[in-house]
């Protein structure tokens, strides 16, 4: 049984997300409050469909090999061990009621479906308000992109990798597709991976066309057709079926041809002081396509945001990640500037160690999630390598190596020392170079490393040191069941048809 409760849903989102924006809404009956113009609906879209400062899945970093556990230096920091232990040890009960009191970012299921409902609401209502077709199409393009983005995050958090070993995407469970804001008594089952990816693709293709022809945002906090192209490039790379590699390269190229990389050496002042702005600072970085989220340097759930002095924090950046960067030879040659720019540091025995991400400056209120041009160079390089492995075309090998060196050049300190391009004599060495370069560039950002670990079936090991300084080693094997994270109990309790992931 279905009921058209769209106006009541609209009122709910208005009260929940907009508060003072009720002045934009017109009351038509005691039970109905609805927008009447595209401007009204636009205001609602900003509050209910865009993520802005949403904290949705920072916990994904704790699952990866980019974080290490150092134990408990002081009882003051006990909460960080408590918050992280189930995640860091890949405990199947990490999101269960009896084991986990879910933190603000750990119920990604609820967070993303709430935003999806906001997108569906705008989509369903856009033709019921007055305004130009261009304005309506611009909003429709935005919410279709956003819905696709949220489904992409959901299916990659709670589903197995599309091309995982032994995975049939036509039968493997993805997530439920909810494509309308109409409230229904029906309990949704999980669509397959193939169905979810197909819906994401459809939404993005429509969004790209609508945005290209109807909307040119004046800042990186709104999505453009280049954002749709960027996410299409990522989607096709992850799926890698049929001609997907060609399409991934095509859409990455569209973005690369339109937007430049940021030269990190430009962050040096005239007196050679390096700016702490961060790669996601829209005032300093040219390559930001879309940005959202809270400033991660202020999120104190798993890693303290404070500066440590002579006190090792409970968690910090792993030695494996830190050692991937060329540190240079001194102050006049700092090598790979990503090590300088991408990490906040703590001090221990006068040595500065990487603590957490600093891809946005500490004074900025917005976040370090979204889309950047750098990813497009990496996507194009990976797709070219995979295509080379399939077809043995030398042009693909050359393209991949060229893209990786172009990205790397933009990150190096070349004020006094020229950049030496990396060479790769074999496809295996090229793949190894690519994987490390992707880690160096996309570390601690929007779940990339966790999704790559899943896609590449990369086994990793964590050593957890408890409050009594007892160390225990845990291993996440290749093709682990935990690649598809457990669905939070808040979702399974509300929907008895929602099949939990095997553990």
Q: Where do the domains of the chain lie, and which CATH numbers do they carry?
A: 38-494 (1.25.40.390)
> What's the burial of 191, exposed, middle or buried (CB within 10 Å: 0-12/13-18/19+)?
buried
pLDDT tens, residue order, the chain (503 aa) = 344 334 434 433 443 333 333 333 333 343 456 799 999 999 999 999 999 899 999 999 999 999 999 999 888 899 999 999 999 999 999 999 877 679 999 999 999 999 999 999 999 999 999 999 999 999 999 999 999 999 999 999 999 999 999 999 999 999 999 999 998 778 999 999 999 999 999 999 999 999 999 999 999 999 999 999 999 999 999 999 999 999 999 999 999 999 999 999 999 999 999 999 999 999 999 999 999 999 988 888 999 887 667 788 999 999 999 999 999 999 999 999 999 999 999 988 888 999 999 999 988 999 999 999 999 999 999 999 999 999 999 999 999 999 999 999 999 999 999 999 999 999 999 999 999 999 999 999 999 999 999 999 999 999 999 999 999 999 999 999 999 999 999 999 999 999 999 99
Residue burial 247-263, b: 16+ Cβ < 10 Å; e: rest: bbbbbbbbbbeebebbb
Model pTM above 0.85: yes
Report, in angstroms and rounded to the nearest whole number, the Rg of the chain calculated over CA atoms: 23
Instruction: Quote the CA–CA distance of 485 and 156 in Å, as a whole number.
Output: 9
Instruction: Quote the CA–CA distance of 154 and 178 in Å, as a whole number.
Output: 12
pLDDT the model gives residue 27: 37
Residue tagged 């430049």 (tokens)? 260
Residue whose C-alpha is closest to residue 360's, from 280, 428, 431: 280
User: Crossing angle of helices 38-48/108-125, nearest 10°?
Assistant: 170
Tokens found for residue 145 = 């992109």
Residue whose C-alpha is closest to residue 113's, from 501, 487, 502: 487
pLDDT the model gives residue 183: 80
Backbone angles phi, psi at 483, to 5 degrees: -55, -35
The tally of CA atoms less than 13 A away on the side-chain side of residue 251 is 25
pLDDT the model gives residue 309: 73
Cα dihedral value 346, 348, 349, 354, nearest 10: -60
Tokens found for residue 138 = 């611009």
Q: Is residue 348 a contact partner of residue 308, using CB atoms and an 8 Å limit? A: yes
Instruction: Quote the CA–CA distance of 97 and 101 in Å, as a whole number.
Output: 7
> What's the burial of 128, exposed, middle or buried (CB within 10 Å: 0-12/13-18/19+)?
exposed
Instruction: Quote the CA–CA distance of 389 and 381 in Å, as a whole number.
Output: 12
Helix (H, G, I), strand (E, B) or coil at 272: coil
Helix (H, G, I), strand (E, B) or coil at 304: coil
Q: Is residue 294 a contact partner of residue 56, using CB atoms and an 8 Å limit? A: no
Question: Cβ–Cβ contacts within 10 Å for residue 4, how many?
Answer: 11
CB under 8 Å to 249, separation ≥6 — which residues? 233, 379, 380, 383, 384, 387
pLDDT the model gives residue 100: 65
pLDDT the model gives residue 32: 52
> Where do runs of H (alpha helix) occur along 268-393?
319-322, 338-341, 373-391
Q: Is residue 451 a contact partner of residue 484, using CB atoms and an 8 Å limit? A: no
pLDDT the model gives residue 243: 98
Tokens found for residue 2 = 């279905």
CA 92 to each of CA 26, 84, 482, 496: distance values in angstroms, whole numbers, following the listed order? 48, 13, 7, 19
CB under 8 Å to 450, separation ≥6 — which residues? 60, 61, 63, 64
Alpha-carbon torsion 296, 301, 303, 308, what sign? positive
Pairing of strands 315-317, 67-69: antiparallel
pLDDT the model gives residue 310: 77
């Amino acid at each position: 049984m279905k009921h058209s409760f769209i106006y009541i849903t609209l009122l709910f989102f208005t009260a929940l997300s907009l508060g003072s924006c009720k002045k934009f809404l017109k009351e038509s009956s005691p039970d109905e409050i609805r927008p009447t113009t595209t401007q009204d609906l636009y205001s609602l879209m900003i509050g209910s469909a865009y993520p802005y400062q949403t904290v949705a899945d920072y916990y994904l970093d704790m699952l990866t090999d980019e974080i290490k556990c150092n134990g408990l230096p002081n009882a003051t920091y006990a909460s960080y061990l408590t918050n992280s232990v189930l995640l860091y040890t890949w405990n199947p009960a990490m999101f269960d009621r009896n084991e986990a009191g879910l933190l603000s970012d750990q119920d990604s299921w609820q967070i993303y479906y709430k935003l999806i409902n906001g997108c569906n609401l705008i989509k369903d209502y856009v033709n019921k308000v007055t305004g130009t077709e261009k304005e309506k199409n611009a909003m429709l393009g935005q919410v279709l992109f956003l819905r696709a983005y949220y489904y992409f995050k959901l299916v990659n958090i709670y589903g197995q990798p599309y091309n995982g070993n032994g995975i049939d995407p036509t039968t493997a469970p993805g997530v439920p597709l909810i494509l309308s804001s109409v409230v229904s008594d029906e309990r949704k089952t999980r669509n397959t991976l193939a169905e979810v990816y197909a819906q994401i693709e459809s939404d993005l293709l429509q969004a790209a066309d609508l945005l290209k022809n109807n909307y040119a945002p004046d800042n990186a906090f709104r999505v453009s057709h280049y954002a749709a192209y960027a996410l299409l490039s990522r989607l096709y790379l992850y799926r890698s079926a049929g001609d997907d590699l060609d399409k991934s390269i095509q859409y990455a190229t569209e973005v690369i041809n339109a937007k430049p990389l940021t030269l990190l050496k430009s962050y040096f002042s005239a007196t050679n002081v390096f700016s702490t702005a961060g790669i996601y600072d829209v005032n300093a970085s040219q390559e930001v396509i879309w940005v959202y989220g809270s400033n991660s340097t202020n999120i104190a759930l798993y890693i303290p945001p404070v500066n440590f002095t002579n006190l090792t924090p409970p968690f910090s950046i792993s030695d494996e990640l830190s050692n991937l960067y060329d540190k240079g030879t001194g102050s006049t040659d700092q090598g790979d500037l990503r090590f300088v720019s991408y990490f906040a540091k703590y001090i221990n025995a006068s040595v500065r160690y990487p603590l957490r991400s600093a891809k946005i400056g500490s004074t900025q209120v917005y976040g370090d999630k979204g889309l950047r041009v750098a990813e497009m160079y990496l996507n194009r390089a990976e797709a070219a390598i995979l295509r080379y492995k399939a077809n043995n075309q030398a042009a693909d090998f050359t393209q991949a190596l060229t893209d990786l060196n172009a990205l790397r050049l933009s990150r190096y300190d070349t004020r006094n020392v020229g950049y030496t391009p990396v060479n790769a004599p074999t496809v295996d060495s090229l793949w190894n170079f690519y994987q490390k370069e992707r880690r160096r560039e996309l570390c601690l950002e929007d779940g990339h490393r966790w999704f790559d670990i899943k896609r590449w079936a990369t086994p990793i090991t964590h050593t957890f040191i408890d409050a009594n300084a007892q160390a225990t080693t845990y291993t996440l094997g290749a093709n682990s069941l935990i690649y598809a994270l457990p669905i939070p109990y808040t979702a399974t309790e509300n929907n008895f048809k929602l099949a939990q992931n095997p553990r």
